[in-house]
Amino acid sequence: MSNAKVNRGLDFSQWKGVWVITEQRRGKTMGVSIELLGEGRKLADKIGTTLTAVVLGDGMTDEVEALAHYGADQVLFVEDALLGVYTTDAYAKVIGELILERQPEAVLVGATTIGRDLAPRIAAKVGTGLTADCTVLDVDESDKKLLQTRPAFGGHLMATIICPNNRPQMSTVRPGVMQKAEYQEDACAIETIKGNLSEGDILAKVVQIVEEARHGVPLGEAEIIVSGGRGIGGPEGFELLKSLAEKLGGEVASSRACVDSGWTTPDKQVGQTGVTVRPKLYIACGISGAIQHLAGMSESDTIVAINKDEHAPIFDVAHVGLVGDVHQVIPAIIASLKA
Ligand code: FAD
């Protein structure tokens, strides 16, 4: 029987439980996994089912034990020497087989570089659909189906997608959007199983991992962000933003316009096609507030906008608005911080 026939039909009563496919790099759990566990818990409670955290790796006992404290009903740890480092073939094979065997009704994967590679391959293996890059998840009260919402048409509308004829319902979820699960004193049960992989299961091998040199914290984890748009005038404008960020102990980010102009690097881009951030303070300098930019920062606790156009849309989401030229306002703020 082909995989596609196994999970197609109208009777899904055997498909139960929400799974979060957690992500690890070098044996360390990534923050997106805790966010997905927070969201997965809410969905499982609304459906009235269980939440399972799925971990693939090799000898990462401490991390697996730690994951048992983040609200899941069970941690399912697949251990194998060939799962220590992510490879598409091995991960898709193991998770695909587990899904067909244990039949979860919903599977959440982070929309990270790894998740974006992995989730479609799992979906193809088990013969289901995939809603990529979700920013909102909910459950339909009447039939307990997953409501998966994601930006569509360049972010101009939000599309809510359901998966009526297949199981599991699969979503990749943007990092930085969902609330992290809280640490709990009580730990859930951990089931450890062997991966049973052989070298022949892995077609592409990882030969070497080269870490990118990074200064400061990743944008997704920064508490203070000073972000520049086209209004800062050029690459030299980022030196001004750096001075302000250093004074505040924050990180520098940007709109896509500055990345496209080569003023800064793509890892600094906030927005729909960049990073989603939720800092305590986001200072938008010379950024107009296009919908695609707002998609990545509007959940910040406090937004300060500096723009010379009083009608700029960024002021619609700002808690504090300063109408003026960034080249006058930012040096004035730095001077007052020094004082
Ligand atoms: P502009 O829109 O040109 O705004 C510049 C602002 O600076 C203006 O409001 C102006 O009044 C102000 N200004 C000018 N001079 C000064 C000064 N001296 N002092 C103070 N203010 C000044 N954009 C993103 O940012 N992130 C994304 O992830 C993203 N994804 C996209 C995905 C798609 C599919 C598409 C179609 C677009 C995407 N965009 C994204 C682009 C987005 O639509 C906007 O083009 C972009 O955000 C504009 O950047 P900006 O605000 O820096 O520039």
More confident residue, 218 or 112: 112
Instruction: Give nearest CA residue, ligand 1 atom 31.
Output: 292
Quick one: which atom of ligand 1 is closest to the CA of 274? Answer: 28
Tell me, yes or no, whether 330 lies in a domain: yes
Annotated binding site for FAD: 230, 255-256, 269-273, 286-293, 307
Rounded to the nearest whole angstrom, what is the distance from the C-alpha of residue 320 to the centroid of ligand 1?
A: 19
* Ligand 1 touching residue 227 (CB < 6 A): no
Residue 159 pairs in a beta bridge with 150
CATH of the domain at 194: 3.40.50.620
Co-location of 182 and 306 in the same domain: no
User: What confidence score (pLDDT) does residue 216 get?
Assistant: 76
Co-location of 152 and 226 in the same domain: no
* Ligand 1 touching residue 42 (CB < 6 A): no
Co-location of 195 and 293 in the same domain: no
Instruction: Give nearest CA residue, ligand 1 atom 14.
Output: 231
CA atoms within 13 A of residue 253's CA, in its CB half-sphere = 32
Q: How confident is the model over 258-275, as pLDDT tens digits? A: 999 999 999 999 998 888
Rounded to the nearest whole angstrom, what is the distance from the C-alpha of residue 227 to the centroid of ligand 1?
A: 11
At position 193, the amino acid (one-letter code) is I
Cβ–Cβ under 8 Å, residues 155 and 11? no
- The pTM of the full predicted model, rounded to 2 decimals, is 0.80
| Final residue before a domain boundary, out of 175, 201, 227 | 201
Residues 199-216, mean pLDDT to the nearest whole number: 83
Co-location of 176 and 239 in the same domain: no
Tell me, yes or no, whether 223 lies in a domain: yes
Residues 82-109, mean pLDDT to the nearest whole number: 96
Tell me, yes or no, whether 213 lies in a domain: no
Quick one: which atom of ligand 1 is closest to the CA of 258? Answer: 52
Q: How confident is the model over 150-189, as pLDDT tens digits? A: 988 877 788 999 998 899 999 999 998 899 999 999 999 9
Share of the chain above pLDDT 70, in %: 97
Share of the chain above pLDDT 90, in %: 81
Task: Of 54, 55, 97, give the one whose Cα is nearest residue 197.
Answer: 97
* Ligand 1 touching residue 254 (CB < 6 A): no
Rounded to the nearest whole angstrom, what is the distance from the C-alpha of residue 285 to the centroid of ligand 1?
A: 10
Quick one: which atom of ligand 1 is closest to the CA of 271? Answer: 28
Measured in whole angstroms, the distance separating CA 120 from the mean position of its chain's CA atoms is: 16
Rounded to the nearest whole angstrom, what is the distance from the C-alpha of residue 281 to the centroid of ligand 1?
A: 19
What is the domain extent for residue 92?
3-201
Rounded to the nearest whole angstrom, what is the distance from the C-alpha of residue 292 to the centroid of ligand 1?
A: 9
Quick one: which atom of ligand 1 is closest to the CA of 326? Answer: 19
The C-alpha angle 327, 336, 235, rounded to 5 degrees, equals 30
Region label for 187, one of left (φ > 0), alpha (ψ between -120 and 50) or beta (otherwise): beta
Query: Does the pLDDT at position 1 exceed 50?
Result: no
Co-location of 190 and 115 in the same domain: yes
ipTM score of complex: 0.99
Co-location of 65 and 24 in the same domain: yes
Annotated binding site: 230, 255-256, 269-273, 286-293, 307
Residues 199-205, mean pLDDT to the nearest whole number: 87
Quick one: which atom of ligand 1 is closest to the CA of 291? Answer: 43
* Ligand 1 touching residue 330 (CB < 6 A): no
Q: Are strands 157-161 and 146-152 parallel, antiparallel or unpaired?
A: antiparallel
The C-alpha angle 96, 100, 106, rounded to 5 degrees, equals 80
Task: Of 77, 71, 83, give the one whose Cα is nearest residue 37.
Answer: 71
Task: Of 230, 233, 284, give the one whose Cα is nearest residue 260.
Answer: 230
Residues 188-214, mean pLDDT to the nearest whole number: 88
Tell me, yes or no, whether 306 lies in a domain: yes
Quick one: which atom of ligand 1 is closest to the CA of 228? Answer: 52
The Cα–Cα gap between 84 and 91 comes to 10
Rounded to the nearest whole angstrom, what is the distance from the C-alpha of residue 335 to the centroid of ligand 1?
A: 27
> For the chain, how many structural domains are there in total?
2
Query: Does the pLDDT at position 27 exceed 90?
Result: yes
CATH of the domain at 229: 3.40.50.1220
